[in-house]
Amino acid sequence: MSVSLFTYGTLMFAEVWRRIAIGEFRSQPATLRGFAVYRLRDSVIPGMVYADADSLSPGVVYHDIDEETLFELDAYESDLYQRISVRVTTEDGSAVDCQAYVIPDRSRQALTDEPWDAAWFEQNELESYLRG
């Protein structure tokens, strides 16, 4: 069985994906409605939580993820995150059912109120994140 996976943080970056995931997978930009992405406390990485229905979280959806790769990704994301089912919209307007890693309500205190900015991360932190 394979699944699609919506990524909104470090895994959106091909350089990070290749270091974590076992294989190459077809991907495309997508947006998830009803969620917001914030920085984790004392960290440069994000967490996504439920938000109001008008909230939009941009990201990348990877298709046909196999069980072995999903196991590796679960380990990368740790128990801080919970993998749930979501439906995203791709840039061509298609709806895709997939999985996403979110911060469950019980762990919401792990997040700041500062929205996570992918462009800022890429420009300021990606290189050191890959070295770490």
The domain segmentation of the chain, as residue ranges, is: 3-123
pLDDT at 124: 96
Angle (CA) 56 1 20, round 5°:
60
* 23, 69 Cβ separation under 8 angstroms: yes
Please tell me the distance from the alpha carbon of residue 58 to that of residue 44, in angstroms, as a whole number. 18
pTM: 0.94
Which run of H or E residues covers position 115?
strand 111-115
Burial zone of 3 (CB within 10 Å; 0-12 exposed, 13-18 middle, 19+ buried): middle
For 3-123, give the CATH class.
alpha beta
Q: What is the per-residue pLDDT across 5-14, written as a single tens digit (0 to 9) for each? A: 999 999 999 9
Q: What is the per-residue pLDDT across 16-68, written as a single tens digit (0 to 9) for each? A: 998 887 788 999 999 999 999 999 999 999 999 999 999 999 999 999 999 99
